[in-house]
Amino acid sequence: MFWKKKPFPEILLLLLISAVVYLPYIGSLTYYKDDWYYIYDGMIGGAKVFHEMFRIDRPARGFFFEWYFLLFGANPLPWHLGAFIWRALSAAGALWIFNILWSRGRKFAFLVALLFAIYPGYFWWISAIEYQPMIASLALQVFSIAFTLKAIQSQNRMEQAAYAIGSVLTGWIYIALVDYAIGMEAFRFLCAFLLVNRDFQGGTWNRLWSTLKVWAWTLLIPLGFMLWRTFFFTNERKATDIGGQLSVFIGNPVATVVDWSFQLYNSLLNLSVLAWINQFPAFVQAMRLRDIAIGLLLVVVVIMLVAFIERQIKLLAESKNVDGDQDQVTKEALALGGLGMIFGVLPVIMANRYVNITGFSHYGLPASLAAAVFMAGVVEIISLQRVRSVMLYVVIAFAALSHFGIATNAVAEERALQKFWWQVSWRVPALREGTTLVIYYPLPGMGDGGYGLMEAANVIYFPGPTGQIPVQYPLAGLTLNSETLPDILSGSLYKETQYRSHVVDFDYRNLLVISQPTLNSCVHVLDAKQPLISTHDPVDVALAAPSSKIENVLVDVKPASPPEDIFGREPEHGWCFYFEKADLSAQSGSWDDVARLGAEAIQLDLSPEDRSEWLPFLKAYAITGQADQLKLTAKRVIGDKSLRVQSCEMLTSIEEPLSPEVQEVIAVEYCKTAVE
């Protein structure tokens, strides 16, 4: 019978549940946050650029990314599939570990592996490029520990040697990719202790000695890495320099220990408890009802699958009369999970970092294996079977919904960014090299202080590889906010910034301000002489607008087009298409084309959500003498007082001679109303 072939049914169900949790948006996820600069640097500098990117702190990642980029290039889908495969492999490896440790607790081993597979405390799985080596490191970490246990367990010397070699090699690689994961070597020892002393009756010291004798060879892993790191590698990054971090302790040991203790407490709280709770409201509450309904449906599917396999394992256990000491297993799980988390995050804390469930969730990823064991032990403490089952299903439901919420919100942000840049491409055929873009995005968090906006622009307008390392960005980018505004207003700053594998020149004397006031607005490329300011724009946009040089938009060139595998298919030609094309024609002074585009949009029954977008059409109607259309459009504008004032100022400042009919419409319909 298939179910008797342990552990293949559990692996199949783990893969299926992981697919339900992680893959609903696999075709929609693209680049998230810093993924952009990884890809653009690779596009321009070639696969070798990643060695430059990581030579200062983690050179193993340079090889990792080189191979990946040679295989997948800039297409985001294979990167996301790769991250899922690593995640699935780590879950299968975890099941292997727990089946070895608790060979008579098949159900418990599966549940621990399941909680590890869907652990919600790791947020950055949606950033499949930047964090690819971290999820790969996790899988290698898990298999390295499994190989160790098999080497201890095996009675065949050839098998022992093979497993030992596999354990050491995967151990070196996982730590080389993620150095702070070295704390999980304590988890390896704890697993060995449980395995070796399963039926051992001696005292504590005898138990430790028996473990040390079979485990000592695994010291090759951390000691080998530390030997290389200390004597053969020159670390150029302070944040990952061991001596530099310990100097903080040496300089003020008491304050540092207090701070470490506080951060250890917070990190363990985030890793063990808040990871399962706080991700849920933070993301699910922001979702639409339709998305929540889909998420709940997926949760039902996951719970049904879990209930199904629990039932099958229970029936098989009853038929074989297998019943391990669950109380002992629970105690072991709590001890293994608790101590594993503590030692797992200690390197992070001693590097003066900490674990949370959002920005720094990756610091807890290696210890998520221990966190899953601990949570399984917490659930098993509950004595009443029904209450325990409800608790388990709630934990699983929260984890599944959290991941669905994370992906839903990431896709919403990525789609907003894609639409933004498609609209920019309609409006801006090309950009002058050396331009510094100042961008106001419609969603908070988009742009990340410049990264993710300058790369997107460079991907569109300067995609050609140069082979230059470090990569020189033709375009710089700034997020418009209170931090960047003072330098923008000063207009005199010039600074060259190098980060890892690229160089960016921020020229505050040569800016182009671009704003999308809301998700329902179109993208506005501002002209300092007569900027289009929406009532939905923050005041920062109005303050920065006089610094915007529209001549950085090149008009008489072949227009660039965003690559579909990165930016998705071109959106349908709705109002924003006609607005962007009209605004481009207005920049060229082609007012007949502006009026024609307006007529086409009206004929298609299109109109803006943001009424400020009528302004270029108003000017076109005035210059081309279409007094009737100018009067008719006034009804769409005069309801907004600030927009009436802006319209009046724009129309009365037209230098071209206007017909008497047009002048009368301006005076009566726009300026008189504006004065009132």
| pLDDT tens digits along 332-357 | 999 999 999 999 999 999 988 999 98
Single-letter code of the amino acid located at 379: V
Residue 113 — very low, low, confident or very high, per pLDDT cuts 50/70/90? very high
0.75 exceeded by pTM? yes
Judge contact between 457 and 475, C-beta under 8 A: yes
Judge contact between 405 and 286, C-beta under 8 A: yes
Residue 1 — very low, low, confident or very high, per pLDDT cuts 50/70/90? very low
Cα distance between residue 141 and residue 164, in whole Å: 14
- DSSP H helices in 448-493: 454-461, 485-490
The per-residue pLDDT for 207 is 82
The per-residue pLDDT for 2 is 46
List, in sequence order, every residue forming a beta bridge with 553; answer none if it has no partner. 431
**H or E stretch at 512:** strand 511-515
∠ Cα 30 33 35 (to 5°):
60
Residue 6 — very low, low, confident or very high, per pLDDT cuts 50/70/90? low
The per-residue pLDDT for 117 is 97
The per-residue pLDDT for 468 is 92
Q: Is the pLDDT of residue 129 over 90?
A: yes
Both tokens of residue 657? Answer: 């001679």
Cα first-last separation, the chain: 86
Share the mean pLDDT of the chain.
89
Question: Smallest Cα–Cα separation from 372: which of 197, 193, 187, 189?
Answer: 187
Question: Smallest Cα–Cα separation from 367: which of 332, 395, 397, 338?
Answer: 338
Instruction: Tell me phi and psi for residue 43, to 5 degrees.
Output: -65, -40
DSSP-based three-state secondary structure for 554: strand
**Contacts for 204 with CB less than 8 Å, ≥ 6 apart:** none
∠ Cα 254 364 193 (to 5°):
85
Single-letter code of the amino acid located at 182: I
Q: Is the pLDDT of residue 321 over 70?
A: no
How far, CA to CA in Å, does 614 sit from each of 17, 578, 633, 652? Answer: 50, 11, 8, 16
Per-domain residue ranges of the chain: 2-30+75-410, 572-676
Q: How many CB atoms lie within 10 A of CB 198?
A: 12
Could you tell me whether strands 436-440 and 471-472 are parallel, antiparallel, or unpaired per DSSP bridges?
unpaired
**Cα-atom radius of gyration of the chain, to the nearest Å?**
30
Q: How many CB atoms lie within 10 A of CB 515?
A: 29
Judge contact between 457 and 423, C-beta under 8 A: no
Residue 288 — very low, low, confident or very high, per pLDDT cuts 50/70/90? confident
For 554: left if phi > 0, alpha if psi spans -120 to 50, otherwise beta; the answer is beta
Q: Is the pLDDT of residue 104 over 70?
A: yes
DSSP-based three-state secondary structure for 548: strand
- Of 204 and 668, more confident: 668
Q: Is the pLDDT of residue 643 over 80?
A: yes
Most confident of 112-116, 388-392, 449-453: 112-116
The per-residue pLDDT for 555 is 92
Instruction: Tell me phi and psi for residue 515, to 5 degrees.
Output: -135, 140
Cα distance between residue 216 and residue 297, in whole Å: 49
Cα distance between residue 424 and residue 134, in whole Å: 34
DSSP for 378-429 reads HHHH--SHHHHHHHHHHHHHHHHHHHHHHHHHHHHHHHHHHHHHHHHHHH-S
Both tokens of residue 128? Answer: 């499949």
- Of 339 and 655, more confident: 339
Secondary structure letter of residue 483 according to DSSP:
T
Q: Is the pLDDT of residue 615 over 70?
A: yes
Please tell me the CATH code under which domain 572-676 is placed: 1.25.40
How far, CA to CA in Å, does 407 sit from each of 412, 413, 518? Answer: 9, 10, 22
